[in-house]
Each structure stands twice: as structure tokens, then as C-alpha cells.
């Protein structure tokens, strides 16, 4: 999974600028900003600084001085899900948003400028899974990747991969690599031959309270220790640590209900 992040190294930094379709940012909208920062600061060692305020209070999470994620404040009058949202790179957010609409998706926010950082929109695919679109400003510096506390993979959990994979292919130009298996519905999305994300069709196993959704995986040094720490910090473990094709992984939930996975990659 660590290879699947666009122009990034296995352990180090990546240059600004992402090939269209590459996951380039993850953001979490919550009700309690202070408590959420305390949780992720303790779990991943993140520090925080103010970010663009176009959608309300927002902070950027930093690891060793490098930006790795964002956390924003949900409007108190809107009952929106608390969830991690991946942003997919675009050279023209407005054009990408228009393609989303033409292909059966919905654009819920934007496109709009995020101060000097870039231009963004928040959309959902035809099955309802929410994702962001991000057009990055050229001057932004490198971000840290491939080390504990950084996003390492994004995976869409949906009813079946076939139709929704065509949507993402049409919007972002992905190449598809399906798994040939009668009992495992999975498509790897590639950009310029590199895996950048996955689509996992799980049928009726899609949670009724969440529906189809994107899952962000964060690299950690020890999955078992991290899962135990999540519980100590007020979250809970949804799927206990277990071996997977990519390493040892667990799915956890933070104190506000945002679900994410932690993984120690095998490579």
C-alpha cells in the first residue's frame, strides 16, 4: 500500500503536485474540535495549526512539521455524518465537478477556494459515498508520507464494484485492475500504472447506518498497540487486529464515531 500514493517515496516526503485521481488529502469534520485534536494528537503524535476557514473552524494536522490531514468543525445546525473524507486530485475542480454531475454523482459543497491552499469541492458517487476533489496550489511544499501517523491507503466500501468503478474511471481517468475471484469483489484503481485506491464490493455487509463510504488507512508502527490505545483514549475497536494482504490491520472508531483503519504494512 505504501507505493500507492502518487509521487511519493516509501519513507519520506512527496513533492507538491499530484497526478489527477491520486488521493492527496484526508479531512475529518467533527462536533468537538478540541477533544478530537486531543485524541488524534495522543494517538498519532499530531500537532495542529489553523487552516482555511471557508467552511468554518478548521485546523491542519502536522507530523514533524509536515501537513498530514485536516480537521474541521461541523455546523451545529446540520446533522452530517462524522467521517474521514479522502480528497482526490484534480487539475480543474470545476470541470471535475461537472463530470461528477454528468455521471450520476452529486456535488454537495463548492467548488470554492480554500484561501491560498487551493480549490475544492465535496461530492458523492451514485451510491452515496462522499469524497473530496482538490485542486492544489503549485507553491505548497512537501508532505510527509510512508511513516507512522500518515495516511497510507483509501478504500471504498460499497455494494458492488462494477458500476461505481466505471463512475470513478469516467471522472478521474483511472485504470482498473479487478480481482478475478468468484467470492471476492475488489477493484484496484491505478494512475499511470500505480495503485492509488481500492473499491471493495461487500454486498449487504455495507453498514446500514453508514451506507457506502470511503475508508482511510493510517500507517502505524504496531497495530495491536494502537488498537489498545484507541480504547484507552475513548474510542473503540470495530474489527480487531488481523493479518491482511497488506499487513496487520484493524478498524477502529474515534470518540465521535469516525471510522478509520490502522495498518502496519508488510513491505
Q: What are the pLDDT digits (tens) for 207-256? A: 888 899 999 999 999 999 999 999 999 999 999 999 987 789 999 999 99
Residue 7 has pLDDT above 50, yes or no: no
Closest by Cα among 230, 211, 233 to 125: 211
pLDDT score at 106? 97
Residue 267 has pLDDT above 60, yes or no: no
Residue 5 has pLDDT above 50, yes or no: no
- Edge-first strand order for the sheet with 84-89 is 47-50, 58-63, 66-73, 23-30, 84-89, 130-136, 118-124, 106-114
Residue 199 has pLDDT above 90, yes or no: yes
What residues contact 182, with CB distance under 8 A and at least 6 apart? none
- The answer to whether the CB of 83 falls within 8 A of the CB of 207 is no
Q: Is the peptide bond before 32 cis (omega within 30 degrees of 0)?
A: no
- Residue 24, CA distances (Å) to 6, 47, 110, 148 in order: 8, 19, 18, 17
Q: What are the pLDDT digits (tens) for 33-51? A: 999 999 999 999 999 999 8
Residue 112 has pLDDT above 80, yes or no: yes
pLDDT band at 140 (very low <50, low <70, confident <90, very high): low
Q: How far apart are CA 134 and CA 149, in angstroms?
A: 22
Q: How far apart are CA 197 and CA 190, in angstroms?
A: 7
- The answer to whether the CB of 174 falls within 8 A of the CB of 22 is no
pTM for the whole structure: 0.91
DSSP secondary structure string for all residues of the chain:
-TT-SSSB-SSEEE-S---TT-EEEEEEEES-HHHHHHHHHHHH--EEEE---TTSSEEEEEETTEEEEEEEEPPTT------EEEEEE-S-HHHHHHHHHHTT-EEEEEEEEETTTEEEEEEE-TT--EEEEEEE-TT---EEESSTTSEEEEEEEES-HHHHHHHHHHHH--EEEE---SS-EEEEEEETTEEEEEEEE-GGGS-TTT-SEEEEEEE-S-HHHHHHHHHHTT-EEEEEEEEETTEEEEEEE-TT--EEEEEEE--
Amino acid at each position: 500500500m505504501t507505493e500507492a500514493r502518487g509521487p511519493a517515496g516509501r519513507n519520506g516526503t512527496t513533492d507538491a503536485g499530484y497526478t489527477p485521481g491520486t488521493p492527496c488529502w484526508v479531512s475529518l469534520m467533527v462536533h468537538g474540535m478540541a477533544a478530537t485534536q486531543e485524541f488524534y494528537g495522543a494517538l498519532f503524535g499530531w500537532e495542529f495549526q489553523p487552516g482555511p476557514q471557508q467552511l468554518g473552524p478548521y485546523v491542519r494536522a502536522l507530523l514533524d512539521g509536515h501537513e498530514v490531514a485536516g480537521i474541521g468543525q461541523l455546523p451545529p445546525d446540520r446533522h452530517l455524518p462524522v467521517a474521514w473524507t479522502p480528497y482526490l486530485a484534480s487539475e480543474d475542480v470545476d470541470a471535475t465537478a461537472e463530470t461528477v454531475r454528468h455521471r450520476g454523482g452529486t456535488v454537495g459543497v463548492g467548488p470554492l477556494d480554500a484561501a491560498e491552499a487551493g480549490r475544492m469541492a465535496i461530492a458523492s458517487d451514485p451510491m452515496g459515498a462522499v469524497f473530496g476533489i482538490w485542486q492544489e496550489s503549485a507553491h505548497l511544499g512537501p508532505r510527509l508520507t510512508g511513516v507512522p501517523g500518515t495516511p497510507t491507503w483509501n478504500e471504498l466500501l460499497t455494494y458492488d464494484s462494477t458500476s461505481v468503478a466505471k463512475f470513478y474511471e469516467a471522472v478521474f481517468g483511472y485504470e482498473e485492475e479487478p480481482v478475478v475471484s468468484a467470492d471476492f469483489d475488489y477493484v484496484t484503481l491505478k494512475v499511470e500504472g500505480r495503485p492509488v485506491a481500492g473499491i471493495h464490493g461487500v454486498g449487504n455487509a455495507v453498514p446500514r447506518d453508514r451506507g457506502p463510504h470511503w475508508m482511510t488507512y493510517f500507517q502505524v508502527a504496531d497495530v495491536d498497540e494502537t488498537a489498545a490505545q484507541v480504547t484507552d483514549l475513548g474510542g473503540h475497536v470495530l474489527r480487531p487486529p488481523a493479518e491482511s494482504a497488506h499487513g496487520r490491520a484493524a478498524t477502529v472508531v474515534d470518540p465521535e464515531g469516525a471510522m478509520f483503519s490502522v495498518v502496519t504494512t508488510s513491505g
